[in-house]
Amino acid sequence: MSARTKARKRAVDVLYGADLRERPLADALVEEQRRADGEPARQASWSYAREIVEGVDAHLDELDVAISAHAHGWTLDRMPVLDRAIIRAAAWEILFNDEVPDGVAISEAVQLAGELSTDDSGGFVNGVLSAIARDR
């Protein structure tokens, strides 16, 4: 597994945990930074994970508008928390990180959804992210 793949999973973990516990992303980042400082072997994945979470935090309103516009029949509140975290992370990569090709961001998000969420999540994540990428 590449460092970026691990970083995406870590970012989703932080986003998911903060959303589930209804706590600010900044607080979750501080907690995760402490954890990363205690585990030097995980530093390679932490840098990009932090970049994703900080990016999502900085652009949350814009991301949520884009997601809502393309999640036909689903409000953000109705989405499973894990799917919402995966989509936010990948949408940030698509909309705000020109270093990552859209196809890579989408593929990695669909893979995470398939591994971590429901059987239907991969298709849902793919549909929302593909529409965001198409319309950007």
The range of the structural domain enclosing residue 128 comes to: 3-135
As a whole number of angstroms, the distance between CA 113 and CA 30 comes to: 26
> What local confidence, expressed as pLDDT, does residue 95 receive?
98
> What local confidence, expressed as pLDDT, does residue 134 receive?
97
> What local confidence, expressed as pLDDT, does residue 135 receive?
95
Question: How many domains does the structure of the chain reveal?
Answer: 1
Q: Which residues contact residue 124 at a Cβ distance below 8 angstroms, ignoring those fewer than 6 apart?
A: 71, 74, 83, 113
**Residue percentage of the chain with pLDDT more than 70:** 100
- Looking up residue 105, the CATH number of its domain turns out to be 1.10.940.10
Answer with the residue of higher pLDDT: 73 or 15.
15
> What local confidence, expressed as pLDDT, does residue 90 receive?
98
Q: Which tens digit of pLDDT belongs to each residue from 50-107?
A: 999 999 999 999 999 999 999 988 999 999 999 999 999 999 999 999 999 999 999 9
Amino acid at 41: A
> What local confidence, expressed as pLDDT, does residue 3 receive?
85
